[in-house]
Structure 1
Amino acid sequence: MKKPLLILLLGFIMAAGSFAQSSYYFPGESFDPSIPSPEEFLGYPIGEWHTRYDLIVKYYEKLAEVSDLAELKTIGYTHEHRPKIILTIASSTLLGNLEEIRLAQLQLADPSQPKPDVSAMPSIMHLGYGVHGNEPSSAEAAMLSAYWLLASQSELAQNLRKNAVVHFDPTVNPDGRDRHSQWANSNKGFPPVADPLDREHNEAWPGGRTNHYWFDLNRDWLPLAHPESQVKIAWYHDWYPNVTTDFHEMGTDGTYFFEPTKPYGSENPVVPRKNYDDINVRFAKYFAEYLDEIGSLYWTKEVFDNSYPGYGSTYPDIQGGLGLVFEQASSRGHLQASQRGDISFAFTIRNHVRSSIATMEAGLDNREYMHDYLREFFQTAVSEGAKDPAKNYVFGDQFDPSRNSLFVKFLMDHKIKVYENNADLSAGGYDFKSGKSWIVPTSQPQYRMVRTMFEDVKEFADSVFYDASAWTMARAYGMPFAANTTVKTGNLLTEAPSQDYDFPTGKAYAYLIDWSDYYAPKMLFDLQEAGVHVEVINRPFTSKTQDGETKFSAGTLIIPSGFQKLETAELKDVLEKLAKKNKQKIYATTSGMNLEGIDLGSNLVGSVTIPKVIMVVGDGVSSYEAGEIWYLLDSQVGMPISKVNSDDMGRVNLFDYTTLILASGNYNSFSENFQNHLKDWISRGGTVISMKSASLWLNDKEIIKEELVETEETPEPESLPYAVQRDFEGAKSVGGSIYMAALDLTHPIAYGYQRETLPVYRNSTIFIKPSKDKYLTPIRYTENPLLGGYISDSNLEKLAQSASVIISPVGRGRVINFYDNPNFRGTWFGTNKLFLNAIFFGDMMD
């Protein structure tokens, strides 16, 4: 390895602003004076302030403006409309041929194409920073690293510009970044305060880690719920970088972590061993040398997970590249006391700068090797897929075209090839209809992603998980699917299926809307907002419509023509426009007398109340769950939700709302007066939707009376070695796994579902007995519920005796208790409707 810098060993403790930038970050370096350093551009040394994202963008714009070796591209925008940018640095020759280079990289990743001459191809590197907004050192390092590559006169920098294309993403999570930067800067002391209890080091809820909707974007590379991830993955598949970095921060008392991660236990099952046993080891030597030179402490092969495919450091491993996670002990502000002394913001930045340069050198030295590996990865994917007993996966829900479309688009966004299914067939206990089902072959370059989408994993090298232990995306979408050995495919899809329906003509006694489609709730809320009176039919029936004799399930919506404030022509116009917008089929009937089942004026038909929803947020409440709920209602329903801080609830009159949502959390901050108000409101007809630990709080306050599952525990050893504590105790948790639940299809919580079983996601050890009322446990687990992921034998025994959803009557009201998470990470489309049913039909559930 080359010695890129003349390194001076500097002390660990360093206060920001007390040093010259070049001598601290780049001692002994010379730079092109025409390229402004970050300090020159910003007017302060890096590390003295947390730089706002708009200034980071402006600095990158300046680099692209003053140098023909830099090119800036906006690839999309965040929820708060901050630009998502990529700065590309390479020689003017390489930049002038950037499109040809990109196409050659795509050809290399396509085993059906001739292999390009890798000796003539530059290394493609992607340096990504700042996915967690309150891990701020990396975004500052992004400015310094780009400056070094562009302006350094060192031999290494010159060789990199000549033989590599380096893409910088300075902040994966701009919205969270600015939320944290504002906090740290506005609470900074002069001089800085190192006390960990100081306000600067303790952000207000929800903190800057997450994006606008309080989602952890380092879990979103797989689900693609948010625009930041969607545009990033689209960009990624335009380039297939050989190396991708993912810079983080950890607790202040730590040191520095780089890969390899924990062998086997922290590794993804579809990634080739070569990635872990060879490539990671090659690169680790560079990181060690660069940190050795400045005396920084570090560690490897422990704790940090590399198994979940949605990490920024794992997804590239499943795409033929090398994903690298780095963790730096955080100052969480400008200066903070640690067990080794005061750690400064500048010190944390410097370590990430060192790792950035080390990554670039390692990538350059292994340029041809990594290109060969990229081709090898996709070649072996095709050959391994051809050997898989499952030659294809067939999937499709004949009752829900919108969810089909969402899942097909999701697969295609991950570059998985999807084909039409041209034949009716039965497999895996499901019926798949031609035109309403699709086929995914296993023998394709994205075979390892196909496994990620469809394969249930139940065997693990470890029983302790940093994150989820199951991620089968077909389960998350509630998608019927089955492995097949003989199915033939139709045409390759180039876009996701879409549906358009003709609006019925002529006079209508009433209009009907099937509740099975994923976007039926959005259609309902749009109708209510437009002033249309809507009712729900609570039993199955058969009616004569424009399609002839048509069967409908319980939960079907009815829009009676005779009970509307809108004139007939206006009603039809509103219905037609909203049906087209939401891709919903409208049925018309000319009579209230049905062919089978109840009639349209039955007492089992009732109006649907327009929801007015309030959710408690703030200290003690899970920001992740609250954000998932907020995002669901915003993005999938278009329904406003009032988010009220827990310490403001004493000012709330709950009688102004139909529904109160309590995400998991601790609600002991509620005053006794508000608790009494809450009990009174529920007993007079209010609906509470309660998640996991919130239900335990309601139980503790005797608002509801449900019982915990109690089993005879297996005796534990009287003594164990201290060193095994983490593994032994950690194995008792449920970090995130998938189970099969049984639905009562006659209950309003299950309206829109056509099958009696449904995959659900659980990430808690709260086990509650079914209700003593035999009618009020509409969702419970099947006899052998585990579909994928890890759970201990004792917890599985408790789960078998537990409920997934319980309705707890309270006077004329009710609490709807969810003990699983139906909205997990914005991607559990299969269970979202359970939660939406609780909102729209909650007053019918007891």
Structure 2
Amino acid sequence: MKKQYLLLLLAWITAFPAFSQVDYYFPGESFDPAIPSPDDFLGYPVGDWHTRYDLIVKYYEKLDEVSPLAQLQTIGYTHEHRPKVILTIASTQNMGNLESIRQKQVQLADPSQSKPDVSQMPAIVHLGYGVHGNEPSSAEAALLTAYWLLASQSELAQNLREQAVVHFDPTLNPDGRDRHSLWANSNKGFPPVADPLDREHNEAWPGGRTNHYWFDLNRDWLPLAHPESQVKVDWYHQWYPNVTTDFHEMGTNSTYFFEPTKPYGSENPVVPRKNYDEINPLFAKYFAKYMDEIGSLYWTKEVFDNSYPGYGSTYPDIHGGLGLVFETASSRGHLQASQRGDISFAFTIRNHVVNSLATLEASLDNREFMHDYLREFFESAVAEGAKDPAKNYVFGDEFDQSRNRLFIQFLLDHRIKVYENSSDLTLNGQNFKKGNSWVVPTNQPQYRMVRTMFEYEKEFADSVFYDASAWTMAAAYGIPFSAAPAAKTGAVLSEVSAPDYEFPSGKAYAYLMDWSDYFAPKMLYQLQEAGIHVEMINRAFSAQTQEGATDFSAGTLMIPMGFQKMSADQVSQKLQEIASATHQQVFKVETGLNLSGIDLGSNLVGAVQKPKVIMLVGPGVSSYEAGEIWHLMDTKIGMPITKVNTDNFGRVNLFDYTTLILPSGNYNSISGGALEHLKDWVSRGGTIISFKNASLWLNQKGITDESLVESENNDPETLPFAVRRDFEGAKEVGGSIYLAQLDLSHPIAYGYQRETLPVYRNTSIFVQPSKNKYLTPIRYTENPHLGGYISNANLELLKQSAGVLISSSGRGRVIHFFDSPNFRGTWFGTNKLFFNAIFFGNSMN
């Protein structure tokens, strides 16, 4: 039998056969003829084309239509308004009791409720596919696996229908999938071209891996920056599946990977050892059995990370389930040459199909065991939380109500219990006021997620990281927080409401708006769009307002009523509308003479230039970083920015713009003429905002003149070849958190009230502070390391380097960011630094 499978394997690696898909994917099985197969529905064998997402959904709709055992629901929509769907397959009896089954599963995950009889509960399996759009084999496998489960007459399929509820998410990233499918299908040859250099195998920038805003959604289960992840995680908490899959592709010359991942080095610190030591190896035996049957090569326990909580294979591990990552060699098209021969699309699909079936069989066989583990997981979480010396975490920013609301909503989205703080507290030198701070107890079922939000981790079993090594979310939001052995709690929060400020009545000399709130920049841009003239006050002052004597910080916005093109009534009405929509408080003054500090007509007060922003994108540019900027400006400011490919930069007249953004990347393709235009523009007053190695390029081209921090090479002269990955990888700063020192008098720091701020860094570029003593507004503290991995050598370099520095260039300037202020759409605490560069850049040198 095994020899027969191997012969089939060799035939299918090289080309798609003439016989039906059933013979290849499910040899020897019979199917219910009332259920249409994917090839009958689509009109082509699965693997012959990349199936568009709308056709995947329509096939699932057909299954829902023809069988009472299938139910399709739409749980949300993507940025491009593609539906996010879940197909559920179960017996007629279980489908009729679906809500009761769901409630029992949720009850099982709640230690405060009695434990239901798990012997009578079906296994809850969630088969998730296609988080990376250009790893397309998994979504095709989702078609075939759903068909098999619904139509197969095998004993296993029948038992699964009776004893399991299986949820299919065919594509976590529909927008990226369709981008890739269009590319692969439109570049397909007849016959297919296996040469890796062929256009089909080399997508145009940014490729289909990411979603609409070029984000990697396999990192977004924790940040929840995008609708795809938001609705998915909300759905997840309605079911708490026992097993969740996460199917991927890797290099064409690879074979197949399934868990366990790398012991200790790739594991999340809050996940119980039982998950890694007992459950993963138990399931791995099923995967090995199925792969042995078809003769596919595979490997385990190497490379792939399972530590970052935002992975689709790790988030379930922190919620009492088993998250499973699978990786198959990729054809990156329909046929591609590899070291083992030509790899066909169908071959990659079959690898994922058999592991889908293996997952289902393992879940069924261990149904009661996994239910018991789910209850055990949350019971142990409560017990560990009760023993935690912290007892509580208290948080709150008295100056920024919007970030407070964003963070509270974020915690609630992850089902973490949050309470009002009912007493004033001073903890570790920080003040938390009653009514303006909140408490998260550690003694709760989501204790392990509480640790994820508030704990810094600095000790690791490994020094090489596939992704970020730090993810303390309270730091990402820039929220002051502290452990609190004791705290008085008020009501538990179930929702977050925005403040409703009363707009000041009567005639105004000027209106003032504080810049500290997260959405103050959104308000500013809307005012400018409305044609209202806005100025910025560059020093702290105190003024008499409708609230009495009021203190204002540098960066406060002013609307002087004597310099408006509209009538006073029109300005007031528009201002009230915008303030209400952005939840900002407006102060009225009746005189320009302040109580203390500078007056409103001071030379330290000036007009805020309305920004017009252009950003270079395209080949060589980091699509992740560009996407973070694009997403931030769209969703948090509502400001359109012009995105131009580097190869079109020669056509740009920069004098039509105030600001040029250069995300990390390689800009050597820019022509000499375009470079001279860039130099002329910036020297005449333009503002460049550059990130990391883009700053090195500007230095190389003579636009700036900054210096790298000198490092000593203390490497041994010789080392074994086998240690090269670990030794060199340990030198990287893959993603960790540091404490920065702010110059609060500099416009880059306007809106901040504290001199220190957690920042995120994922680069090993270390640049010396500016030779101009005024132009390094953000450095690192004496002991900056807060969380994540960094080598001792790099930490010493970091201490000597700049986080943000300004380079003068004629009458213009370059604002250099060496940290990542907009990382993954979730570093709300440092976004204001970037906003300041956009709105106040022309006053920074």
Does the 8 A contact of 1:428 with 1:481 survive in 2? Answer: no
Equivalence for 1:478:
478
How many angstroms does 1:711 deviate by?
3.0
Letter in 1 for 2:504: P
Equivalence for 1:597:
597
Letter in 2 for 1:519: F
Letter in 2 for 1:712: E
Corresponding position: 1:503 with 2:503? yes
Equivalence for 1:88:
88
Question: In structure 2, what is the Cα distance between the partners aligned to 1:592 and 1:422?
Answer: 39
Q: Deviations over 1:538-562 (max 9, x none)?
A: 0000000010000000000000111
Q: Deviations over 1:528-578 (max 9, x none)?
A: 001111000000000000100000000000001111111111111111111
- Answer with 496-505 or 221-230: which moved more: 496-505
Identity %: 76
Equivalence for 1:166:
166
Does the 8 A contact of 1:160 with 1:360 survive in 2? Answer: yes
Equivalence for 1:33:
33
Equivalence for 1:610:
610
Question: Counterparts in 2 of 1:678-717, with a 5 A limit?
Answer: 678-714=678-714, 716-717=715-716
Question: In structure 2, what is the Cα distance between the partners aligned to 1:9 and 1:267?
Answer: 38
Letter in 2 for 1:800: K
Equivalence for 1:822:
821
Does the 8 A contact of 2:6 with 2:295 survive in 1? Answer: no
Question: TM-score by structure 1 length?
Answer: 0.99
Letter in 1 for 2:169: D
Does the 8 A contact of 1:713 with 1:794 survive in 2? Answer: no
Equivalence for 2:188:
188
How many angstroms does 1:20 deviate by?
1.6
Does the 8 A contact of 2:14 with 2:341 survive in 1? Answer: no
Question: In structure 2, what is the Cα distance between the partners aligned to 1:655 and 1:484?
Answer: 54
SS at match of 1:257: strand
Corresponding position: 1:465 with 2:470? no
Question: In structure 2, what is the Cα distance between the partners aligned to 1:164 and 1:488?
Answer: 44
SS at match of 1:627: helix
Letter in 2 for 1:396: G
Question: Counterparts in 2 of 1:209-358, with a 5 A limit?
Answer: 209-358=209-358
Question: In structure 1, what is the Cα distance between the partners aligned to 2:526 and 2:363?
Answer: 52
How many angstroms does 1:713 deviate by?
3.1
Does the 8 A contact of 1:8 with 1:27 survive in 2? Answer: no
Does the 8 A contact of 2:5 with 2:295 survive in 1? Answer: no
Question: Counterparts in 2 of 1:765-804, with a 5 A limit?
Answer: 765-804=764-803
Equivalence for 2:437:
437
How many angstroms does 1:497 deviate by?
4.0
SS at match of 2:779: strand
Equivalence for 1:670:
670
- Which residues of structure 1 form unaligned runs of 5+? none
SS at match of 2:39: helix
Equivalence for 1:52:
52
Q: Deviations over 1:463-501 (max 9, x none)?
A: 000000000000000010000101121110011242110
Q: Deviations over 1:389-444 (max 9, x none)?
A: 00000000000000000000000000000000011111122111111100000010
Question: In structure 2, what is the Cα distance between the partners aligned to 1:258 and 1:576?
Answer: 57
Equivalence for 2:18:
18
Question: Counterparts in 2 of 1:106-185, with a 5 A limit?
Answer: 106-185=106-185
- Answer with 169-178 or 7-16: which moved more: 7-16
Equivalence for 2:204:
204
Question: In structure 2, what is the Cα distance between the partners aligned to 1:424 and 1:15?
Answer: 71
Does the 8 A contact of 2:538 with 2:554 survive in 1? Answer: yes
Letter in 1 for 2:371: H
Question: In structure 2, what is the Cα distance between the partners aligned to 1:236 and 1:7?
Answer: 37
Question: In structure 2, what is the Cα distance between the partners aligned to 1:163 and 1:7?
Answer: 30
Question: In structure 1, what is the Cα distance between the partners aligned to 2:433 and 2:700?
Answer: 49
RMSD: 1.0
Question: In structure 1, what is the Cα distance between the partners aligned to 2:496 and 2:555?
Answer: 28
Question: In structure 2, what is the Cα distance between the partners aligned to 1:98 and 1:428?
Answer: 49
Equivalence for 2:806:
807
Letter in 2 for 1:11: L
SS at match of 1:11: helix
Does the 8 A contact of 2:424 with 2:434 survive in 1? Answer: yes
Equivalence for 2:579:
579
Letter in 2 for 1:127: L
SS at match of 2:197: coil
Letter in 2 for 1:476: A
SS at match of 2:759: strand
Question: In structure 1, what is the Cα distance between the partners aligned to 2:705 and 2:273?
Answer: 51
Q: Deviations over 1:307-363 (max 9, x none)?
A: 000000000000000000000000000000000000000000000000000000000
How many angstroms does 1:14 deviate by?
3.7
Letter in 1 for 2:567: E
Corresponding position: 1:741 with 2:709? no
Does the 8 A contact of 1:478 with 1:828 survive in 2? Answer: yes
Letter in 2 for 1:457: E
Letter in 2 for 1:99: E
Q: Deviations over 1:361-405 (max 9, x none)?
A: 000000000000000000000000000000000000000000000
Corresponding position: 1:518 with 2:515? no
Does the 8 A contact of 1:465 with 1:735 survive in 2? Answer: yes
Does the 8 A contact of 1:7 with 1:28 survive in 2? Answer: no
Question: In structure 2, what is the Cα distance between the partners aligned to 1:754 and 1:345?
Answer: 56
SS at match of 2:492: coil
How many angstroms does 1:293 deviate by?
0.2
Equivalence for 1:69:
69
Question: In structure 1, what is the Cα distance between the partners aligned to 2:541 and 2:614?
Answer: 34
Q: How many residues align?
A: 842
Equivalence for 1:728:
727
Question: In structure 1, what is the Cα distance between the partners aligned to 2:515 and 2:558?
Answer: 10
Question: In structure 1, what is the Cα distance between the partners aligned to 2:293 and 2:186?
Answer: 35
SS at match of 2:562: coil
Question: In structure 1, what is the Cα distance between the partners aligned to 2:595 and 2:719?
Answer: 69
Question: In structure 1, what is the Cα distance between the partners aligned to 2:514 and 2:709?
Answer: 38
How many angstroms does 1:8 deviate by?
7.3
How many angstroms does 1:17 deviate by?
5.0
How many angstroms does 1:718 deviate by?
2.0
- Which residues of structure 2 form unaligned runs of 5+? none
Question: In structure 2, what is the Cα distance between the partners aligned to 1:169 and 1:516?
Answer: 41
Letter in 1 for 2:192: P
Q: Deviations over 1:821-841 (max 9, x none)?
A: 100000000000000100000
Question: TM-score by structure 2 length?
Answer: 0.99
